[in-house]
Amino acid sequence: MNIFKDIVCGKKKIHLEYEDEFIIAFNDINPKSPVHILIVPKFFIPTLNDVTHQHENILGKMIIVASKIAKKKHINHDGYRLVINCNDNGRQEILYLHMHLLGGRKGTNIFF
């Protein structure tokens, strides 16, 4: 079972902050900052190690979506962080590539 696959496939209903044909974004259920949005491609890539040149466009789109959401959440002027974790030591908890958009307070930890 992979919660992100269930969300992408519509098996698990949640409030989406953003959706288009390639990407969805939603609030993290265990937020590490006042704004903590997960940005997820609609097709499965397990980790950053599995990214190839075919994924360049989706990774760029994820960053553009993060910027749009930061503006919508009014954190674009004060600043925010984008984080992609990879595997266990990189603190990736779900094997499905995703980006964390974190903002709303000054970062105090290298990981969050």
Give the fold, CATH level 3, of 3-103: HIT family, subunit A (3.30.428)
Mapped onto helix, strand or coil, the DSSP state of residue 23 is strand
pLDDT at position 105, please? 84
Q: Indicate which residues carry an active-site annotation.
A: 98
**Distance between CA 32 and CA 26 in Å, rounded?**
14
DSSP code, position 75: -
By the 8 A CB rule, do 39 and 23 touch? yes
The model's pLDDT over 26-76, given as tens digits with 9 standing for 90+, comes to 999 999 999 999 999 999 999 999 999 999 999 999 999 999 999 999 999
pLDDT at position 1, please? 72
* Sign of the C-alpha dihedral computed for residues 22, 27, 28 and 32 taken in this order: positive
Map out the domains of the chain as residue ranges.
3-103
